[in-house]
Amino acid sequence: MAEKLVNENIIEQLKNGIAQFELVASPVPPILTSKFYKCPPATLLADDGHRFFARIGQSLGRGSPAMKKVEQYSVQKVTGDGRCLFRALVKGMAFNKGISLKPQEERNDADDLRMAVKEVICDSSKERRQYEEALVAITVDEPLKRYCQRIVRPDFWGGESELLVLSKLCGQPIIVYIPEHEHTRGGWGSGFIPIAEYGTEFRKGSKNGKPRKVVRLLYSGKNHYDLLV
């Protein structure tokens, strides 16, 4: 019975597009119960002696996202011009500082974030080594060279790889949510469910920096991000 419930949960995650995967080398070791399996260094991706597989990883926190307490926020719409992830992030960071960005400022700052990712991932091998998790996520889908050609385009969609870089680069905790109604079978619910978190270490602050307010992003529809406040 328990195995059936687990299988149903996995199918539901795949159906709703919120399943998280982790990369493992062959042979596949047992799935860890406490946290994600750490992927091997990116240099192994070029080693023909290693085969890599994806498998379902654990959801954010304990249990399925559907079992989490639904949270309530207001949605601030973000322009869907290919910059939506970057726009939502700069809009959220500005909001946390009590700043309201003009449309052109938002667009310029969004493009600056895009180029910042490009600089650390594509222009500096030294910097790149500090973002191995993002590098693995990128090279699973395409060669790094191809990625570096595409990211400079203004219509390039950002996603998890860019969030992994920017959360660390900006020292910014980020939580991504989905609409409650997209997860429930009946299509009801007006709240939001957290599905991924980045930069958690910056929530507590450090000796050299103050705790940072979380930026909450809403992922919905066809690869679109809005801001939750």
CA distance 11 to 93: 35
Active site residue 170: no
Catalytic residue among 81, 112, 123, 141: 81
Task: Verify whether residue 81 is a known catalytic residue.
Answer: yes
* Peptide linkage before 27 cis (omega within 30 of 0): yes
Cβ density class 5-40: b for 16+ within 10 Å, e for less: eeeebeeebeebebbbebbbbeeeeeeeeeeebebb
Cα–Cα distance for residue pair 79/106, rounded to 1 Å: 10
User: Which tokens is 19 given?
Assistant: 């399943």
Q: Which two tokens stand for residue 6?
A: 């687990």
Catalytic residue among 84, 109, 122, 170: 84
Chain mean position to CA 58: 14
Give Cβ neighbours of residue 141 (< 8 Å, ≥ 6 apart).
Answer: 147
224 tagged catalytic: yes
Which residue is catalytic, options 111, 148, 181, 224? 224
**Active-site residue numbers?**
81, 84, 224
